[in-house]
Amino acid sequence: MRLSTRYALDVLFLISGAFLVVAAMTFSAPVAGWLAFGVSIGLAVLAGTSAIVTRNNGRKIGHGLIAAMGVWSVIAALLFTGGLLTWMVFGDAIALAVFALADLTVHEVTTENVVHRLEVTTAPAETDRRIAA
C-alpha cells in the first residue's frame, strides 16, 4: 500500500495550521509573526507546487486555496504588528487548518467512493447452492 502525496501534504498542512494556532496564543506577537512568516512561505511553496504539477482538478483547487492562504499569511505577517498580528496569525492558522481538513475530507471521500465501487461478486453456481441449502 502506497501513501498518497495528497494525503501526506494535507496532513502536513493541518499539523502546520494547528502549530500556528498554538504559537499565536503562546508566543509574543513578533515571535508568532516570524513563525507564521516562515511556516507560511513553506506551505505556500509546497501547496503552489502541488497545485501546478497535478492533473487532478480537485487537488488543484484545494491546494491552490491553501497556497493563496499561505501567501496572504506571509503578507499579513509582514504588514501587521502588535495584538492585531497575534489575531491575524491565529485566524490565518485556523483558516489554513480548515482548508487542509476540507481538502483531506474531499480526498478521503473520493477514495472511499472508489473502494466501495469495487465489489466482489460470487459466481452464479455458488449462489444457486446457497439458495438450495
Which pLDDT value is given to residue 49? 93
Contact 24, 32 (CB under 8 A): yes
Which pLDDT value is given to residue 42? 95
Q: 82: left (phi > 0), else alpha (psi -120 to 50), else beta?
A: left
Global model pTM greater than 0.95? no
Which pLDDT value is given to residue 66? 92
CA distance 60 to 58: 5
DSSP state of 122: -
Which pLDDT value is given to residue 45? 95
Which pLDDT value is given to residue 80? 93
Q: Could you say which residues of the chain have pLDDT below 50?
A: none
Domain boundaries, the chain: 5-108
DSSP state of 126: H
Rg (CA), the chain: 21
